[in-house]
């Protein structure tokens, strides 16, 4: 509506004075949920709080009713003197309460509970309407920076009625750098351009509000080229945001980036020289295609999948864990289609000594844990919380969780609350009337690669994209849900379709991504994209995995590392045993492989990491090693200019600038400790630089 315009709406009301009967599930539980009383941090946790236990997010209304009305001999509620009920006295802060004041004394929510108690705590009609969906107004909007929008949440009920439930809805944003939301639903945009999804949850249902925040100013013209459809989809999104992509990165940045992302290694000085002197316009494409067939590629990507599939010596033993890892690495080296890889994992049977993927079922043994792990790894969907209650931020109910569990349970599976039999069925599909005959896992495996499966291909595409670009289109990568939409849904769909049409060939997808302009974009921001961290308008700094970083140090300094119990491992990424003791790998975030979560591998910086890089005897010994590169180079190269150039090629995969060369020359000539000591000092400084420690 514009200034000066008037809209007239005719309203009518009826039965305003007719008392509406209160219903425990529809009127009381939403209040408890809104104020966090039944959250996992309060009375909803496993043991309850202060002797009072509620089901998480109201997942078991019958049990909650009994806990409030019947337990403690009915002391929690007093129908004769409602305001003296413990429920109200503690909730309003008139009596000591560990959770603090939740209900404003004689506020609207307080009065609803008081009236419910005064009316005898009715359970409510069993056939009362129930919530079937949520709708948010407005459903979407383009907003300027630092603007606000109050959201209104409507619940639709099974009888066709609708109710404003904004006061009792739970809100959450998936992009705090773009937009925030208050407990009351007031959404405020920040200064970063981008898109955010605001989730509203109520009574087990969720709704979504999407806000687009463009960069202010006149429309910017993108002059960067497009190499494939990835660039087209990203550029379309950036145009909507009025954001320009950064320029294409330099040859040296591309070479180092591609080597680290695809093989976990640095290019050698000779490889860098050949690449820089190659005048062919196809040299980047040729480099990608050569890297993807190297054995180091299989090592690198086998490590990633071994993390997710939990190659763990503790439950398996040394020999079995190695056999499990060997199946993973051999599959990647052979470029086994991802759907076949998943099928072999899901349907594995036979002697584990002969069937590598069968070891998965030795690591993850319970049907529920198997279903949750495979859902998270292969589908990107977290269903664990639905074991006990409706997923708080997604559509998954307990019946969905037990439907997946039934694929791996030889017996009859029943709903824990209703005791109804649940037949095996995949996420998002209708439950069949009967249990599939034979090995039920075959049905699940068939469903995985179906073109109408909304999860598998998208999850594989998203994971590979995240491993190459540093973050997923859906982030976290294993938290796919309606309330956490991708930053570029059209691009994710296109990548998934590419996988399907190319028979789930991972190498082709990696090659496609690395060949795009988006992948080859510089990390240097421009004035329009410096605050963009979700739409791939520029390259993002990525800290290498712990194993890759250690290999980079060893490769640069020319002194390999020895790993206890792994005599054949020449590189850290080849150490298949995550339990091998190594302080550096542990300190820099190597996962223990006790869950399927990508979050087990940590990349957050710490003080101990900084101190280790500055003072570690491991690094000191490699820098000063008589057979190491620094010693060899200082003996072999007499010319300081040439020595400095060689060191820059090894550490940074580039030659030094004139300023850098002058500073290094000055240090080499003025050092009182001698030329070799000066070169070692220079190596320490270069190794501790952001340029070396990050993949850019």
CATH architecture under which domain 131-213 falls: Sandwich (2.60)
CB neighbour class for 64 (10 Å; exposed up to 12, middle 13-18, buried from 19):
buried
Residue whose C-alpha is closest to residue 38's, from 27, 50, 29: 29
Rg value, the chain, Cα: 30
Taking CA 465 as the corner, what is the angle to CA 460 and CA 467, rounded to the nearest 5 degrees? Answer: 95
- Cα 32 to Cα 136, 168, 394, 540, distances in angstroms: 21, 9, 20, 42
Identify the pLDDT of residue 19.
63
- 608, β-bridge pairs: none
- Give CA torsion, residues 233, 238, 241, 242, to 10 deg: -140
Domain boundaries, the chain: 24-118, 131-213, 310-448, 452-504, 546-693
d(CA 398, CA 400): 5
Identify the pLDDT of residue 5.
67
CB 267 within 8 A of CB 561: no
Joined together, the tokens standing for residue 529 give: 């994209």
d(CA 121, CA 504): 57
Q: H helices of 470-582, where? A: 489-501, 506-515, 546-557
Pairing of strands 140-142, 205-213: parallel
Pairing of strands 152-157, 131-137: antiparallel
- Cα 390 to Cα 44, 158, 194, distances in angstroms: 13, 18, 30
SS (H, E, C) 81-97: CHHHCHHHHHHCCCCCC
CB 399 within 8 A of CB 431: yes
191: helix, coil or strand?
A: coil
Contacts 24+ apart (CB under 8 A), 531-534: 531/177, 531/191, 531/192, 531/193, 532/192, 532/193, 532/194, 532/241, 532/243, 533/177, 533/192, 533/194, 534/175, 534/177, 534/178, 534/194, 534/195, 534/471, 534/475, 534/487
Measured between alpha carbons, how far apart are the two ends of the chain, in Å? 46
For the chain, how many residues are written? 696
- Cα 474 to Cα 1, 332, 481, distances in angstroms: 34, 24, 9
CB 54 within 8 A of CB 32: yes
CB 447 within 8 A of CB 441: no
Joined together, the tokens standing for residue 114 give: 């008081």
- 10-residue mean pLDDT series, the chain (696 residues): 63 63 91 84 79 81 88 82 90 85 89 92 91 94 95 95 94 92 96 92 90 92 96 97 97 98 98 96 98 98 97 93 96 98 95 90 95 96 78 76 94 87 93 90 92 94 97 94 90 97 97 98 95 93 96 97 85 93 94 91 90 93 96 95 97 97 92 87 96 96
| Dihedral sign for Cα atoms in the order 545, 549, 551, 556 | positive
- 163, β-bridge pairs: 155
143: helix, coil or strand?
A: coil
Taking residue 516's Cβ as centre, other Cβ atoms within 10 Å add up to 22
d(CA 114, CA 119): 9
Phi and psi, residue 134, nearest 5°: -120, 150
d(CA 135, CA 309): 38
Residue whose C-alpha is closest to residue 403's, from 348, 362, 447, 347: 447
């Amino acid at each position: 509506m514009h200034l000066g315009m008037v809209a007239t709406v005719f309203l009518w009301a009826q039965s305003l004075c007719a008392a509406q009967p209160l219903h425990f599930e529809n009127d009381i539980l939403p209040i408890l949920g809104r104020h966090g009383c039944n959250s996992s941090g309060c009375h909803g946790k496993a043991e309850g709080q202060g002797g009072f236990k509620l089901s998480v997010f109201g997942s078991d209304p019958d049990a909650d009713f009994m806990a409030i009305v019947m337990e403690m001999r009915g002391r929690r509620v007093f129908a004769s003197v409602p305001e003296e009920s413990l429920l109200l006295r503690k909730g309003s802060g008139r009596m000591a309460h560990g959770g603090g004041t939740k209900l404003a004394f004689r506020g609207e929510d307080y009065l609803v509970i008081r009236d419910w108690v005064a009316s005898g705590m009715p359970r409510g009609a069993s056939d009362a309407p129930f919530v079937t969906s949520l709708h948010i107004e407005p459903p979407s909007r383009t907003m300027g920076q630092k603007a606000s929008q109050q959201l209104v949440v409507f619940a639709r009920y099974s009888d066709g009625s609708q109710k404003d439930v904004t006061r009792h809805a739970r809100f959450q944003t998936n992009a705090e750098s773009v937009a925030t939301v208050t407990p009351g639903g007031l959404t405020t945009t920040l200064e970063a351009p981008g898109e955010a999804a605001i989730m509203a949850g109520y009574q087990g249902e969720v709704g979504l509000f999407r806000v687009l925040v463009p960069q202010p100013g006149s429309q910017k013209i993108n002059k960067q080229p497009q190499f494939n459809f990835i660039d087209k989809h990203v550029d379309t999104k950036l145009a909507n945001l009025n954001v320009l992509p950064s320029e294409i990165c330099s040859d040296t940045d591309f070479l180092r980036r591609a080597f680290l992302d695809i093989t976990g290694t640095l290019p050698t000085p000779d490889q860098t020289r050949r690449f820089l002197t190659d005048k062919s316009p196809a040299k980047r494409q040729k480099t990608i295609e050569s890297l993807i067939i190297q054995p180091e590629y299989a090592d690198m990507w086998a490590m990633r999948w071994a993390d997710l599939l939990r190659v763990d010596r503790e439950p398996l033993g040394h020999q079995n864990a190695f056999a499990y890892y060997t199946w993973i690495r051999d599959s990647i080296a052979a470029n086994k289609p991802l759907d076949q890889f998943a099928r072999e994992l899901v349907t594995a049977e036979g002697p584990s000594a002969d069937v590598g993927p069968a070891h998965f079922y030795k690591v993850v043994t319970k049907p529920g844990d198997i279903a949750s792990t495979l859902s998270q790894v292969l589908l990107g969907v977290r269903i664990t919380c639905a074991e006990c209650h409706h997923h708080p931020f997604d559509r998954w109910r307990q019946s969905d969780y037990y439907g997946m569990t039934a694929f791996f349970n030889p017996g009859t599976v029943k709903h824990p609350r209703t005791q109804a039999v649940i037949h095996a069925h995949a996420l998002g599909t209708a439950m069949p009337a009967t249990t599939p005959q034979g090995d039920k896992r075959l049905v699940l495996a068939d469903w995985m690669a179906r073109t109408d499966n909304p999860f598998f291909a998208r999850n594989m595409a998203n994971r590979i994209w995240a491993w190459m670009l540093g973050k997923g289109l859906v982030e976290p990568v294993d938290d796919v849900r309606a309330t956490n939409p991708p930053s570029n849904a059209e691009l994710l769909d296109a990548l998934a379709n590419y996988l399907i049409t190319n028979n789930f060939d991972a190498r082709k997808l990696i090659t496609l991504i690395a060949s795009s302009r988006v992948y080859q974009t510089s990390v240097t921001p421009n004035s329009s994209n410096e605050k963009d961290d979700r739409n791939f308008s520029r390259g993002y700094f990525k800290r290498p995995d712990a194993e890759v970083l250690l290999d980079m140090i060893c490769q640069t300094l020319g002194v390999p590392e020895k790993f206890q119990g792994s005599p054949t491992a020449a590189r850290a990424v080849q150490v298949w045993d995550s339990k091998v003791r190594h302080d550096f790998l542990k300190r820099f975030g190597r996962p223990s492989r006790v869950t399927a979560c990508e979050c087990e591998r940590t990349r957050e910086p710490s003080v101990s990491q900084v101190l280790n890089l500055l003072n570690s005897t491991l690094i000191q010994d490699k820098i000063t090693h008589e057979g190491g590169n620094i010693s060899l180079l200082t003996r072999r190269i007499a010319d300081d200019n040439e020595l400095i150039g060689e060191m820059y090629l090894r550490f940074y995969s580039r030659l030094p600038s004139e300023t850098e060369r002058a500073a290094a020359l000055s240090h080499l000539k003025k050092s009182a400790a001698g030329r070799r000591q000066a070169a070692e000092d220079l190596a320490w400084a270069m190794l501790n630089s952001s340029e070396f420690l990050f993949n850019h």
